[in-house]
Amino acid sequence: MARRFATTERSRRGTRVEVERTGGRLGIIGVISSVVGFFVLGIVFGPVAVVCGWLAMGRRWSGRKPLLALIALFLGALDTIIAVLYVAQ
């Protein structure tokens, strides 16, 4: 499960604002597993990348999405589809 770390930072007005950081590591793991999945065991690494990307996005489609999470989700889905088509051949 993706951990959420809330940190306090100062805004331009000098007030403290809570900033939530989620899924940075999961996005990196998802991108790495999707790239590895293109070369070996795409049927395994593709779904892992999709799940890591989904968890890095915070399990929702709305709101701000980290770029690595979207890349992991897209490449993982593409990797899974290619692996399934290869196995069905």
**pLDDT by residue (tens digit) across 9-38?**
555 666 554 444 556 889 999 999 999 999
pLDDT at 48: 95
pLDDT given at position 51? 94
Torsion sign over Cα 31, 53, 55, 83: negative
Domain range annotation of the chain: 23-88
Q: Is 6 or 41 the better-scoring residue by pLDDT? A: 41
Q: Can you give the pLDDT at residue 25?
A: 87
Percent of the chain predicted with pLDDT > 70? 74
Per-residue pLDDT, 17: 44
Closest alpha carbon to 24 in 84, 83, 71, 78? 71
Contacts of 48 (CB under 8 A, 6+ apart): 30, 33, 37, 76
pLDDT of residue 66 exceeding 50, the answer is: yes
3-state secondary structure of 66: coil
Provide the pLDDT for residue 57: 87
Could you give the angle at the alpha carbon of 39 between the alpha carbons of 38 and 41, nearest 5°? 85
